[in-house]
Structure 1
């Protein structure tokens, strides 16, 4: 990119929408990661979603020294409604979303805008990858390294590339086309995967770019929405089924893969909670797609339970190894250019990725032919 391109890009305003509910423990770090962005033309909209702690005073403290910050106070209606409030209040042509407990690398906005802005309007969004961080901001592990670009609808339905609500930037034209986030999930008591629903609806109508770097610090802690594992499982399953119902043209193979992928996630959550009734339902769905995969999951579950039982019965004969202390680094110390690793699994294989890529390409070709005929 030339100096002239960089100069032109630096003046493009990007709205940053931050929904915050009782976020006092992490909000200051989150806001500082926005203020420290190398791209300075920002419109920072914080939506206080009916907080009862010191969230509002933290917002006022930052707003007092940064005129880019605007604070909106609303009654508690959930993260989707809060994001929609921020979207409606913003004016910029690009919108980036950040949860109140997550972090951005200082170059996040600059890299995302540089990737999306030069592309045609048919490209509606761009996403980045993430590292998992703990309460203190230390990176515990990297997120998946898998990504795709262009027409990614079928691949994203199965692989769920983004993985959190803080790694997406969109053009405002996306909102004009699909509307905002769906707040009905929260009203049904199954909020948690509204970001995935929004990404899928975006992918139905637009191409999506990727910046395959770990530019987001996705914080895992006991108070986060994702900590409610049962609700997250139900939310993902509901998002999946709504998407399938909305798109009857999805090939049967993709539908089966999407359901298997969602139920794999749900099974892991239900099994961790020892909710064996719901876990069995998800395992049945997995078996419908792949009996071998379901058998493998069941075998691993039985084996892990047997090991735990043996350790309890024979603690001296089968000592538990102490976990070695890892040299964890803070998120801001991580080099974003170091490639992430992992993401493949017994289900999410390279062969499956390749086949879904071909289906996405064939759908893109069909759309292009239809457009030419029209």
Structure 2
């Protein structure tokens, strides 16, 4: 049976962190480890954590100097001994059945490396947010991510991956710790894709993402911040790509990557058709490859829908 380590990172979230920890401890599928990394908080969080959880053998407390979110992830994952690492922000929480949902998938699908879920926003904003309306096996996503920066993931609290992949994605140059003091979930999402993880989107309805202050970033981006975020992400993707020798020649394998998706959505088919058209070489041949990708997504749906016989 798959074992789980939960890594909770916190910075000046004394008022919230206890709720996050308690939601991890209350899981019906009990985690092997709950690792809480306090990233140099100045609001009394370390003392609060020691008082409340210092004698709890289920909780490992790591309180140190402020290094930013990437460093906090690295410190937490270094302590993980379980099969799968799940990440949880200190201001979010899970329903008690979250790890049970993940465990059922990880147990049954040993080839799946990375699972992310939908989220229910609460606090200053209330709505559902997810990658798709239904769970979906996304197969491999390296080419799509490298060429088009497609983000196959979710914010931190809805991310999980096998421990080997967590360690691989966080093997980054020390100087990047300053670049990714915030939004280091990009390292987990982009890194796992480019390095070749098999990804799965699992709709659980069990992750609650708290919107407060300035953390509802998607509605507050300016043109400058959008540019800087994309620029930093492009540079990050290139670091992962160089580490495995990935470059634009990967476009030769677009169709093969698309075939790793058992039931691709029409959106995904169009996405890969676009990639097929980017390949160097014959324009006509590229159009034919794009058309074959689109047809491979249309054909199963036509077959499932069937046709009514004409009785006139």
Task: Name the counterpart of 1:71.
Answer: 61
Which whole-Å CA distance do the structure 2 matches of 1:226 and 1:79 have between them? 16
1:208 maps onto 2:199 in alignment: yes
Is the CA contact 2:143–2:251 (under 8 Å) kept in the aligned structure 1?
A: no
Aligned match for 2:236, one of 242, 247, 253: 242
Structure 1 gaps of 5+ residues are 1-8, 255-349, 363-374
Task: Name the counterpart of 2:127.
Answer: 141
Please tell me the root mean square deviation across aligned C-alpha atoms, in Å: 3.2
Structure 2 gaps of 5+ residues are 255-264, 277-288, 290-312
**Residues 60/110 of structure 1: CA separation in 2 closer, same or farther (3 Å cut):** same
Task: Name the counterpart of 2:116.
Answer: 127
TM-score (normalizing by structure 2): 0.69
Task: Name the counterpart of 1:174.
Answer: 165
Task: Name the counterpart of 2:309.
Answer: none
**Residues 352/128 of structure 1: CA separation in 2 closer, same or farther (3 Å cut):** closer
| Local SS of the residue matching 1:48 | strand
Which whole-Å CA distance do the structure 1 matches of 2:54 and 2:18 have between them? 14
Q: Give how far 1:154 is off.
A: 4.7
Count of matched residue pairs: 251
| Local SS of the residue matching 2:118 | strand
TM-score (normalizing by structure 1): 0.58
Is the CA contact 1:154–1:359 (under 8 Å) kept in the aligned structure 2?
A: no
Which whole-Å CA distance do the structure 2 matches of 1:208 and 1:163 have between them? 12
| Local SS of the residue matching 2:73 | helix
Is the CA contact 1:47–1:72 (under 8 Å) kept in the aligned structure 2?
A: yes
**Residues 20/173 of structure 1: CA separation in 2 closer, same or farther (3 Å cut):** same
| Local SS of the residue matching 1:213 | coil
1:37 maps onto 2:27 in alignment: yes
| Local SS of the residue matching 2:205 | strand
Q: Give how far 1:360 is off.
A: 9.2
Q: Give how far 1:352 is off.
A: 4.3
